[in-house]
Amino acid sequence: MVTDDSSQPDEVEDGGLSRRAFLRFLLAVSTLLTLAPFAPMSQFFFPKRNESSSNRRKIANVKEVAEGSTKVFFYPGEEDVDRSFLVHLPHELADRARDEGKDEFIVDGFVALNTVCTHLQCVTGFPEEDQIVCPCHGGYFSLVDGTVIDGPPPRPLPMIKLEIEQKTGDIYAVELIGKIGYGRE
């Protein structure tokens, strides 16, 4: 005689998991295992948005960063989204910024910016002349103050306030201005 298993109730079993509950459990576990490797990617596409924060920390010495060069550092934390540029501006560019009243964040020719684009949070490229370019959709930011020059980014890059000890030449990051991934108003 042929028995039709499909007619058996699957929610009622003696003291244990029903078949349906067990299958749901298996599905949940396999979904978690499938998605787990992608968790770090979410940090890239949806980075945290730090509030403006102050936290004085030495990031370099003036002797380490020659005029026209850039040093990568992390601030205010140590995560990928905290990646920032310390740039020793060519003196012509620093002079021009001063003449145009765009030197709010420049200290002794140095400026520092966070590198997470304010459009869809790609990481920007290294400085090119007086600009920083986001390769994802062609966003252009001013190197001297992070303002948007062209492309889809809606807001300027977060800037990092600097202090330089004249005796030692040590450069300190002291405050993040803006929110990472979101920029400045």
Point out which residues bind ligand FES (CB under 6 A).
Answer: 117, 119-120, 122, 134, 136-137, 139, 151-153
- Nearer residue to ligand FES within complex by CB, 136 or 149: 136
DSSP 157: P
The type of residue at 39 is: A
Minimum distance of ligand FES from residue 39's CB (angstroms): 21
- Nearer residue to ligand FES within complex by CB, 60 or 134: 134
- Residues 68, 92 contacting (CB under 8 angstroms): no
- Nearer residue to ligand FES within complex by CB, 62 or 131: 131
Tokens (6 digits) for 67: 């005029």
- Nearer residue to ligand FES within complex by CB, 77 or 151: 151
Minimum distance of ligand FES from residue 137's CB (angstroms): 3
**Which stretches of the chain are DSSP H helices?**
19-35, 39-45, 91-99
Minimum distance of ligand FES from residue 136's CB (angstroms): 4
Minimum distance of ligand FES from residue 43's CB (angstroms): 15
The type of residue at 88 is: H
Minimum distance of ligand FES from residue 125's CB (angstroms): 10
Concatenate the DSSP letters of all residues of 29-66 into one string: HHHHHHHGGGHHHHHHHS---PPPEEEEEEEEEGGGS-
Q: How deeply is 129 buried, as exposed, middle or buried, from its count of CB atoms within 10 A (0-12, 13-18, 19+)?
A: exposed
- Nearer residue to ligand FES within complex by CB, 65 or 143: 143
